[in-house]
Structure 1
């Protein structure tokens, strides 16, 4: 659950025997009574060999049903980001690249204005720049928090509890920003590898069927939400997998992937279980997924028919280079295919070349006829 900042605090200090005595006194004073809803145990661990701090939070929640629900959370924090000169140099180079991309994107923004936000790759680049700048700002925030904790640790020699909740929060924000930055950067690689035939087909397929996929997603979301409400309301008291909306959604996704044991639903209700399961399989698995596959297939066919010539030429040049350098050896199928291509180019001409071939044939006949007439006239003059 969620708890406010109120409550009673006890700090463990001194020797182990003193802490045991204090705990006995707290027990005698009913420090934990029937009105207690949660007990938090927070401690900080430090490993000097690897310069690692760990914030530990142990929680015991007293439920209204007389039960106790316990959770534990361990959050390691390493404030020393640059452990080598190479990391520092790479970070500085990355910052210069980000500054360069900012200048480029600002120029594009002034040139395209609102059209800039209509381009997919512009949004990806905007996400990379935003997450990178946010990471730099949060890093300085974490650096400031590190200095505060270091000074406090130096002043107290580690004999008091140092709350690391703010430091953990800042570290989590930095981790999230770096994660999204890596996510956008990996998507950017699709554009960098656009000359690869398969990557290009993948990107072009998504481009051609983007509108259809958005419409399909809206329709699928409506159908899925309808079944989510249906299964949750019908089986919330009968199935543990339908105890919450999130778990019900997980169960429905498993049913969509055909990785769900249908015997649980059938055992929950003799009629509604099989009926709802069959209805979901028919409408979602058969109909919706078939529509999804059809949209992707149509987009793939359209992308393959309109494939750019430079991508084919690049693949051809790369294949020739690998063969010439000996990095790739030809198998029997490729050797036979190359022979067929040579035979095809040697003995086969398209119909467009037929008039030229006829002209060459007529010229050859005319030359033979003229040569024969010249030879006959020469023989007549010689009296043969």
Structure 2
């Protein structure tokens, strides 16, 4: 059974015991001999990837009678349990088997860290998590695995016998981190099983791959060299940019290329600061990992999330730097005509963009209402907008649409093709074609900067005697 086949709590225990644990702990070599070396026991079943600390099982629960019974139904139903919510979630402390402490017994649980005591997001150093059904807090009831398979099995068996997962369980998070030394990559995994009020489970898996150790081997020296060069050039041009801003004041930001340069350098300096802070977070994570007094679990999810954000910032810097290269294309006649075409068509494109957005969001709202209840890609407005944008680019699932809505599905599909693909795209191409014709015929609308390049190229060839 795989995690995506889990539908009930018994299924989850079965998957955890029979599928996850045997693969998370290496017990045999490929020739079926028992592993004796403790270095190899620290690997997962592929004998290549190593576990980083232990795994954490975190449960989110709801309070008893989290919803209200109304009318005559109070006479027939003695309890009501809702789906997960930030108000209905349970944050109380319990004894084993979810026994509620009474009176003076509550003081016994104040500093306890058992799986029956709630720990908030600050204690767990964890951020809220957005899953398929709900958004969950960073806290929860936590059970940690052990470094040996036999001891971990005892922990799981004990939790199972004591009904740690029951009717009030709404989500179970299995979090762990692995490291592959061959590729020098870390992998942080979150396996989520969400349980509705009816007891049905919906699973979600998320894996983040990131690199924390940049200076490995001889290549590390080259990496340091390029980082120093990048930092020096960035700081130099940033200082020059600040001087231009002081000299020209607000006039500096009226030019598009000057504004682009300022934004690019600001993001480049931000990336340098984020890179330094990334190393600080890495050192803190490894210090906690090697701390003998810790429980063995280190939350690399926050480090992975920060590394992902850092990657987004780096990609934005590369994007802006690539746009800056377009400035050089103004000396090319063909590319310069393209820029002039966009400039001439700007007024018509503004009006067209308003019409396009109105039609696009109309189709998005319709798709959300038609396919949202049955198709995961349309179960939210944002997801529906992403799916419709992919549809506009040619990526769609006609069979699922037709299965969900046998009559309205095909009608919606062909209507979108007719309106967006044929109608709006034809209008867009007509606007661009008309503007290009005007630029091509009217010489006054074209700039002559490319003639400077032709003149310089001719003089260069004459200097080399190539004419």
TM, length-normalised to structure 1: 0.71
User: In the TM superposition, what are the counterparts of 1:184-333 in structure 2 within 5 Å?
Assistant: 184-234=320-370, 236=372, 243-246=379-382, 248-249=384-385, 252-253=388-389, 256=392, 268=405, 270=407, 280-304=416-440, 305=443, 306-312=445-451, 314=453
Aligned residue number for residue 177 of structure 1: 313
Q: CA deviation at 1:30?
A: 0.3
Distance 1:145 1:266, change over 3 A: closer
Q: Say whether the 8 Å CA contact 1:44–1:56 is kept in structure 2.
A: yes
Aligned residue number for residue 150 of structure 1: 286
Q: CA deviation at 1:182?
A: 0.7
Aligned residue number for residue 233 of structure 2: 97
Q: Say whether the 8 Å CA contact 2:238–2:266 is kept in structure 1.
A: no
CA deviations over 1:91-142 (Å, ceiling 9, x no partner): 2222222223223332433444334333322332123112211111111111
Q: Return the match for 1:81 from 214, 217, 221.
A: 214
Figure out how many residues of one structure are paired with residues of the other and give that number: 326
Q: CA deviation at 1:3?
A: 0.9
Q: Greater helix share, 1 or 2? A: 1
Q: CA deviation at 1:279?
A: 5.4
Q: Say whether the 8 Å CA contact 2:330–2:449 is kept in structure 1.
A: no
Q: CA deviation at 1:284?
A: 3.5
**Take 2:291 and 2:446, find their aligned partners in 1: how far apart are those partners?**
68
SS at match of 2:316: helix
SS at match of 2:205: strand
Q: Say whether the 8 Å CA contact 1:141–1:170 is kept in structure 2.
A: no
CA deviations over 1:213-254 (Å, ceiling 9, x no partner): 333222311222223333443565687875543454456446
SS at match of 1:30: coil
What stretches of structure 1 of length at least 5 have no aligned partner?
A: 328-384
What stretches of structure 2 of length at least 5 have no aligned partner?
A: 1-130
Q: CA deviation at 1:203?
A: 3.1
SS at match of 2:335: helix
SS at match of 2:193: strand
Aligned residue number for residue 256 of structure 2: 120
**Take 2:168 and 2:188, find their aligned partners in 1: how far apart are those partners?**
28
Distance 1:3 1:118, change over 3 A: same
Q: Say whether the 8 Å CA contact 2:289–2:297 is kept in structure 1.
A: no
Does residue 134 of the first structure (1) align with residue 309 of the second (2)? Answer: no
Aligned residue number for residue 68 of structure 1: 201
**Take 2:371 and 2:365, find their aligned partners in 1: how far apart are those partners?**
10
Note the aligned Cα RMSD (angstroms): 3.7
Q: CA deviation at 1:171?
A: 1.1
Q: Say whether the 8 Å CA contact 1:131–1:177 is kept in structure 2.
A: yes
**Take 1:238 and 1:159, find their aligned partners in 2: how far apart are those partners?**
42
Does residue 42 of the first structure (1) align with residue 175 of the second (2)? Answer: yes
Q: CA deviation at 1:172?
A: 1.5
CA deviations over 1:169-198 (Å, ceiling 9, x no partner): 221221111010111111111113332333
SS at match of 1:156: coil
> Which structure's CA Rg is the greater one?
1
SS at match of 1:66: coil
Distance 1:307 1:157, change over 3 A: farther
SS at match of 1:70: strand
Q: Say whether the 8 Å CA contact 1:231–1:242 is kept in structure 2.
A: yes
Q: CA deviation at 1:36?
A: 0.9
Highest RCO, 1 vs 2 (Cα 8 Å, sep ≥ 6) = 2
